[in-house]
């Protein structure tokens, strides 16, 4: 079952101190254990895409981790990452705009980034730990209308990560065709299996592969 879970995993390294040697290890492990993608900083995308070739989708993050870059900057970041070989983009929403109830602007921003992504996968990070239940539900509606592929719980850089309750809530409220990614604090295969059971289609974590390696 542990190996089966790996196809849901975006094997992730987004540390500020990440070196190419560490990124290369992430890529190697993601390929070896059959992860869905490797999620890495944008500065390494070109090198990573050349290294992995067609063997592994490369994912990166934009507007990360705070989400308060302008829409124009996020669109540029997305286009730049895709030109350099990224297959998947995880963007952070402007949480302040959401709390200001500037819903139209939040939606338009997601739509603009999705347009920049074209047929590449766009995942929208809403940072659930900073939101009320009402705001989480509103973001499910906005992400659905904006045409993104996934809604994602967390950056892993804020006050908390994914919870079972949040994934369950998001799965209930997203529209047809929008998938759910749980990220932040997923530290065991038991937790990973529960997230999948509750409806997560992707899991952002680095710990599961570390567990597999420790067993070898």
Catalytic residues: 90, 152, 181
- Which stretches of the chain are assigned E, i.e. beta strand? 9-12, 37-40, 58-62, 88-92, 121-125, 150-152, 179-183, 202-205
- CB atoms under 10 Å from CB of 45, counted, come to 22
DSSP 187-200: -SHHHHHHHHHTT-
Cis peptide before 87 (omega within 30 of 0): no
Cite the DSSP H helix spans in 34-163: 45-52, 71-83, 95-99, 103-117, 133-146
Residue 183 bridge partners (DSSP): 204
Q: Is 174 helix (H, G, I), strand (E, B) or coil?
A: coil
Tokens of 113: 């980034």
Residues 6+ apart with CB under 8 A from 197: none
Q: How many CB atoms lie within 10 A of CB 216?
A: 4
Between CA 188 and CA 198, with CA 192 as vertex, the angle to 5 degrees is 145
């Amino acid at each position: 079952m542990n190996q089966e879970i790996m196809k849901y995993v975006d094997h992730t390294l987004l540390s500020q101190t990440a070196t190419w040697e560490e990124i290369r290890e992430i890529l190697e492990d993601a390929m070896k254990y059959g992860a869905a993608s490797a999620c890495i900083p944008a500065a390494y995308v070109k090198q990573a895409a050349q290294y992995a070739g067609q063997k592994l989708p490369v994912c990166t993050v934009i507007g990360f981790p705070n989400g308060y870059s302008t829409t124009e900057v996020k669109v540029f970041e997305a286009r730049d990452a895709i030109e350099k070989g990224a297959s998947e983009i995880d963007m952070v929403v402007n949480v302040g705009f959401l709390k200001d109830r500037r819903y139209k602007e939040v939606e338009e921003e997601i739509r603009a980034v999705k347009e920049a992504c074209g047929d590449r996968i766009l995942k929208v990070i809403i940072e659930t730990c900073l939101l009320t239940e009402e705001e989480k539900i509103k973001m499910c509606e906005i992400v659905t209308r904006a045409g993104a592929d996934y809604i994602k719980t967390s950056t892993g850089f804020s006050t908390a990560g994914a919870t079972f309750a949040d994934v369950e809530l998001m799965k209930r409220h997203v529209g047809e065709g929008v998938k759910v990614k749980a990220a932040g604090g997923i530290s065991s295969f038991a937790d990973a299996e529960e997230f999948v059971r509750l409806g997560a289609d992707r899991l952002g974590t680095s710990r599961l592969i570390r567990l597999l390696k420790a067993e070898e």
